[in-house]
Amino acid sequence: ADCRGEGTPAAYLLINIVFMRAIAPAAMVGADGEPMADIGAVVARMFFGEIGGDIVTLAIIAILLSTLTTMLFTGSRLFLAMAWKGELPAPLGRCNAAGAPSTSIAWYAGIAIVLLWLAPVKALLEYTGLLTTDWSLGGFFFRRYGRLL
């Protein structure tokens, strides 16, 4: 099966066109002057009423929970692989009797909980892409040159 996600940019553009047609750009800010965080639910309420807005909000929550679960499982396996290669402490490379990297999962979840506790969720969402890019570039340089810079 082809999984290149060629429809993703088109879907993203279509959703943004719907947002722009439903709400004027100047109105896409909250009372505090910050960008509207719940624009999907607001537009859904405009088109489908309160129930539609609630359904879209629940769908967004389900998607976020699914994404968090995926990040937990992939991130912990990244810790596992790095421990196997000697790039992280060896205990992170251990698996339990069922074959799950429970130590890596616990460490990854612990780091995520500490970050959630220390920073507002909005800041975490804004900087997640930046951190992921930085870590990827740092890993590239470390693997390529044996040092970060």
Please list, in sequence order, all residues whose beta carbon lies within 8 angstroms of the beta carbon of residue 102, skipping any fewer than 6 positions away.
94, 95, 96
- What pLDDT shows up at residue 133? 59
**Average pLDDT of the segment spanning 50-71:** 86
- The CA distance from 49 to 46, in Å, is 6
Share of the chain above pLDDT 70, in %: 76
Indicate the Cα dihedral angle 26, 14, 132, 99, nearest 10°. 140
- pLDDT > 60? residue 32: yes
| Backbone angles phi and psi of 29, in degrees to 5 | -125, 150
- The CA distance from 123 to 88, in Å, is 27
Q: Locate tokens 């205990």: which residue? A: 91
- Of 117, 105, 120, the residue nearest 68 (C-alpha): 105
- pLDDT > 70? residue 128: no
- What pLDDT shows up at residue 106? 92
pLDDT confidence bin for 5, thresholds 50/70/90: low
Structure-model confidence comparison of residues 68 and 131, the more confident one: 68
The 3-state DSSP composition of the chain as helix, strand, coil percent (nearest 5) reads: 75, 0, 25
Please list, in sequence order, all residues whose beta carbon lies within 8 angstroms of the beta carbon of residue 77, skipping any fewer than 6 positions away.
101, 104
- pLDDT > 60? residue 7: yes
Give the pTM: 0.58
DSSP string, 99-111: S--HHHHHHHHHH
Q: CB of 63 within 8 A of CB of 40?
A: no
